[in-house]
Chains A and B, each alone.
Chain A
Amino acid sequence: GAVVSQHPSWVICKSGTSVKIECRSLDFQATTMFWYRQFPKQSLMLMATSNEGSKATYEQGVEKDKFLINHASLTLSTLTVTSAHPEDSSFYICSARPLGSGGNEQFFGPGTRLTVL
């Protein structure tokens, strides 16, 4: 149980286009989902916290107009990278906190590798 999927697993796009990444909790409901970015050989950096039915909370330095997050249901959050540029190329990972878990558990998706040409 407690599986989180991400789609797509990898994507290549042209500079200036937008890319949507989906994060789904497959067998549980998630009140909160988190989006992280990981550059090569670096750590995971929190981008934003997404709560179902409300606006996402972005970390300092993350442009909310560039990284649009929608958490429309208890099993789905989406991250849209708008007008992507090569510097947005990275590995994007989501995690989900199960409803009623108390916060000690959060489960990670397998990540999405974005390459912007």
Chain B
Amino acid sequence: AQTVTQSQPEMSVQEAETVTLSCTYDTSESDYYLFWYKQPPSRQMILVIRQEAYKQQNATENRFSVNFQKAAKSFSLKISDSQLGDAAMYFCAYRSANSGYALNFGKGTSLLVTP
């Protein structure tokens, strides 16, 4: 089974600064998808960004970008120009391309944004 590890239970960043959240995963598959989800206090899961493993180019969505290192099985999320509204739990997730569509989540990182 694939495991997803987020080694930072909590992170803090000042408004307008940049922060990087770490995620590593363990898999024997070559084809898969990786995601970052945001869960604000409302508990609604929001997709932040996704990456297809077959793509070498790192995904980018406005202020959010990833550093995908397939050989190292690393998938970090960089948030630039942090805003107060970015404060939330962030979950890294893995989905196999070959066996079902369910997501396997990491334990999450709580991001605090200070003024």
Given contacts A43-B91, A49-B100, contact A110 B43 (CB under 8 A): yes
Chain A interface, DSSP helix/strand/loop, else mixed:
strand
Minimum Cβ distance to chain B for residue A19 (Å): 18
Q: In the assembled complex, which residues on chain A have CB atoms less than 8 Å from the CB atom of B106?
A: 43
Given contacts A42-B107, A43-B108, contact A104 B50 (CB under 8 A): yes
Q: In the assembled complex, which residues on chain B have CB atoms less than 8 Å from the CB atom of A32?
A: 101
Complex: A95 Cα to B37 Cα, angstroms: 13
Q: In the assembled complex, which residues on chain B have CB atoms less than 8 Å from the CB atom of A103?
A: 95, 101
Interface size on A, residues (CB 8 A): 19
The reply on B72 being an interface residue by CB < 8 A is no
Partner of B103, one of A42, A46, A91, A111: A46
Among B42, B52, B101, B103, residue most surrounded by chain A Cβ atoms (within 10 Å): B101
Does A46 contact B104, Cβ atoms closer than 8 Å? yes
Minimum Cβ distance to chain A for residue B66 (Å): 15
Partner of A91, one of B43, B105, B108: B43
Complex: A44 Cα to B102 Cα, angstroms: 11
Does B91 contact A97, Cβ atoms closer than 8 Å? no
Partner of B33, one of A44, A91, A104: A104
Minimum Cβ distance to chain B for residue A27 (Å): 16
Within 8 A of A (CB), among B68-112: 91, 95, 100-108
Type the 1/0 row for A65-90, where 1 means its CB is closer than 8 Å to any CB of B: 00000000000000000000000000
Using CB atoms and an 8 Å cutoff, list the residues of chain B in contact with chain A. Answer: 33, 42-46, 50, 52, 91, 95, 100-108
In the complex, the 9 A-B pairs of residues with the closest C-beta atoms, listed nearest first:
A108-B45, A103-B101, A43-B105, A43-B107, A111-B43, A44-B105, A46-B102, A110-B44, A34-B102
Using CB atoms and an 8 Å cutoff, list the residues of chain A in contact with chain B. Answer: 32, 34, 38, 42-46, 49, 91, 93, 95, 97, 103-104, 106, 108, 110-111
Sample of 14 more A-B contacts, CB < 8 Å, known A44-B45, A91-B43: A32-B101, A34-B101, A43-B106, A43-B107, A44-B91, A44-B103, A44-B105, A46-B102, A46-B104, A104-B52, A108-B44, A110-B42, A110-B43, A110-B44
